[in-house]
Structure 1
Amino acid sequence: MKKIVAAGIGAGALIALGGLAPANAAEDAAMLSVLHGVPGLTVDVYVNDELTLDDFEPGDLAGPLELPAGTYSVAITASDAADASEPAIGPVDLPLEAGGNYTAAAHLDAEGNPTATLFTNDVSEIAAGEGRLTVRHVAAAPAVDVLAGGEAVISGLENPDEQTLDLPAGTVEASVAAAGTTDPVLGPAPVDVAEGTLTIVYAWGSLDDDTLELAVQTVTGMHSSPDGVPAGAAGLVATNAPEQQFGMWALVGVGILAAIALTAAATRAVAASKAER
């Protein structure tokens, strides 16, 4: 089976997902990313009973994927499962509206049980000079405060809630602490809040098992004069790992097409030169 991880979703995965149009699909598309936030569990992801993501590992972030609007049934199984008949999570229905931008997160609830949550990403217009920061609590942990510069900017955030702020563009030194305290259990870590960009920070993992991590996803294109539905770029930042950029498959694809075009042009030029002789 082909392994599909966040570092490079192949065209085959996109084609497979694109072919999973539900019965009530509309012509307009929805954008969907998938976050694996269950520590210690490598999984397979089935969409409408079709294997879509194989050997999906903790911390992986796949997408964004363009899908016809409609409702999709998603089941998450152990990586060695033969099919989706005995899921570890789900099956859950994900209703995707035309023009919507979503992230489906497989994660732990506050008590440490595997679950899944569909989040709607706020891709509405952002004022000039500002970026949008969304913080999502998807960890097995009590309510938390999000600190910037040592002070709480988000208080009492519980699993699986989120909170969104529009901020001046810049870098925020963010950390996560138990609600009412300032001693970080995650971070501090620099979070780039870029102009016209939605930056989503996920706290995932387990506090008791000492597996808490931060993940960062970005969705671009919400400037004051957006040019259509933001597709977004998915990224992941771990507190103890360098930043990884996802969506490079698109750049690689463009490079391959360009190389093919140049080769074809050169071949035609050589053939024409020989003919003239």
Structure 2
Amino acid sequence: MAASSALLLPLLTTGTPGQAAGPVKAQANVTVIQAVPGATVDVSVDGRSVATGAEVGDILGPFELSPGGHEVTFTGPGVDVASSLDVATGASTDVVLHLPAEVGGDPVVHSYDAPTGAIGPDKARVVLAHTATVAPADVRVNGETVFTNIANGEFAEAEVPAGTHEVALLPSGSTADPILGPLDVALEARTLSMIYAYGNPRDGSMNVIAHTSTLTADGAVRPTTIDTGSAGLARGIAVTPFLLGG
């Protein structure tokens, strides 16, 4: 979908006019995802407008923010949401506006730290987040259930062989009638794909939003660990490791 939002300049720390420039502080990168079907919203960070008229599927940024706490707000017809965000030096974070699990619920916001660490050759990293109006779901990759019972706002992270993989989202405990997919997802080596399942299968709005970045090599030969986790606003939940072939 072509972005309809009017993006403004990234937020940058500035000095006082007339003062000598000091050392440049390392920044954090924040990307904003609009995942509410039918909504048109304006986005502000710390009271400064960064986008207007953002529609579902728009990927805004990345914006450079100073390390520390910030507030991201979304406003529009039927939408008025403010979310606190804390970012670390050099980190990359996605902030996602989406619908809750319950039908008719007000939009909510979750943040997801992008795992940008180095990766081995011929591998790709994927973060798949459940931001749809559905109950907890399972994820199947190439016909195998690799994540179970992921609730709205939670995510799964995996490192998989580069190439094309068939991915489907299904009601927990089911192996038929996918909520989404199966989809063929092409993953290039040494990339990170942040993927968000959004919408409501009852009204045909179920879809995905994805964006990809390049990772550096770490020299490893066989990184195959898969972990489940929670959304960025629900840290501290235990994770369970799985192993995916290879």
2:46 match: 48
Task: Confirm whether residue 217 of structure 1 aligns to residue 211 of structure 2.
Answer: yes
Task: Give 1:69 shift.
Answer: 1.8
Task: Give 1:9 shift.
Answer: 6.9
| Partners of 1:198 and 1:220 within 8 A in 2 | yes
Q: Which amino acid aligns with 2:172?
A: A
2:9 match: 14
Percent identity between the aligned chains?
A: 30
2:86 match: 95
Specify the SS of the correspondent of 2:9.
helix
Specify the SS of the correspondent of 1:208.
helix
Q: What are structure 1's unaligned runs of at least 5 residues? A: 80-86, 226-277
Partner residue of 1:136 out of 129, 135, 138 = 129
> 2-side partners of 1:29 and 1:38: how far apart?
28
Mapping 1:20-35, distance limit 5 Å: 27-35=25-33
Task: Confirm whether residue 193 of structure 1 aligns to residue 184 of structure 2.
Answer: no
After TM superposition, the runs of 4+ consecutive aligned structure 1 residues lying more than 3 A away are 5-10
| Partners of 2:30 and 2:94 within 8 A in 1 | yes
Q: Which amino acid aligns with 2:81?
A: G
Q: Relative to total residues, which structure has the larger helix share, 1 or 2?
A: 1
1:108 match: 99
Task: Confirm whether residue 152 of structure 1 aligns to residue 142 of structure 2.
Answer: no
1:69 match: 67
> 1-side partners of 2:166 and 2:64: how far apart?
32
Q: Which amino acid aligns with 2:173?
A: G
Instruction: Provide the TM-score with structure 1 as the length reference.
Output: 0.68
Q: Which amino acid aligns with 1:14?
A: L
Matched residues, number: 207
Q: What are structure 2's unaligned runs of at least 5 residues? A: 16-23, 220-246
Distance 1:190 1:48, change over 3 A: same
| Partners of 2:5 and 2:58 within 8 A in 1 | no
Q: CA RMSD in A?
A: 2.3
Q: Deviations over 1:219-250 (max 9, x none)?
A: 2123227xxxxxxxxxxxxxxxxxxxxxxxxx
Distance 1:216 1:175, change over 3 A: same
2:119 match: 126
Q: Deviations over 1:4-43 (max 9, x none)?
A: x747875xx234x23599xxxx911111111101111101
Q: Which amino acid aligns with 2:42?
A: D
| Partners of 1:30 and 1:69 within 8 A in 2 | yes
Task: Give 1:144 shift.
Answer: 1.1
> 2-side partners of 1:165 and 1:204: how far apart?
19
Task: Give 1:205 shift.
Answer: 1.1
Q: Which has the larger radius of gyration?
A: 1
| Partners of 2:5 and 2:55 within 8 A in 1 | no
Partner residue of 1:206 out of 200, 210, 218 = 200
Distance 1:197 1:156, change over 3 A: same
> 1-side partners of 2:196 and 2:172: how far apart?
16
Q: Relative to total residues, which structure has the larger strand share, 1 or 2?
A: 2
